[in-house]
């Protein structure tokens, strides 16, 4: 088993509080990724498989994101490329 992609991040809810987390793991042998998500909005924890797309490689701007929805409350989670996420936080800190 060779890992192709792995990430583990904390997520903010609609109020800006860090209350959720997400872990995504994908091996080269599989066409889907294992997603372990705790919704930052409702706290629901679930593990599921998601069809793998190349979210951080193809396209520009908004296409470089991975979108997931909570199965319980339908809260939409957008994961940006780590580099873009860090730049966004640095820009917000300057204001």
Mean pLDDT confidence for 3-19:
90
- What CA–CA distance (Å, rounded) separates 67 from 77? 6
CA quadruple 4, 36, 48, 39: dihedral sign: negative
pLDDT value of residue 93: 83
The tally of domains found in the chain comes to 1
State the residue range of the domain holding 21. 3-94
- What CA–CA distance (Å, rounded) separates 86 from 93? 11
Q: What is the CA radius of gyration of the chain?
A: 14
pLDDT tens figures, 25-84: 999 999 888 999 999 999 999 999 988 876 544 445 545 567 888 999 999 887 777 777
């Amino acid at each position: 088993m060779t890992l192709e992609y792995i990430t583990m991040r904390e997520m903010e809810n609609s109020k800006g509080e860090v209350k959720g987390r997400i872990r995504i793991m994908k091996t080269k042998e599989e066409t889907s990724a294992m997603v372990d998500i705790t919704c930052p909005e409702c706290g629901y924890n679930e593990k599921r498989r998601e069809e793998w797309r190349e979210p951080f490689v193809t396209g520009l701007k908004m296409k470089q994101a991975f979108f997931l929805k909570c199965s319980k409350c339908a809260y939409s989670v957008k994961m940006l490329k780590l580099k873009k996420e860090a730049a966004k936080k640095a820009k917000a800190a300057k204001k």
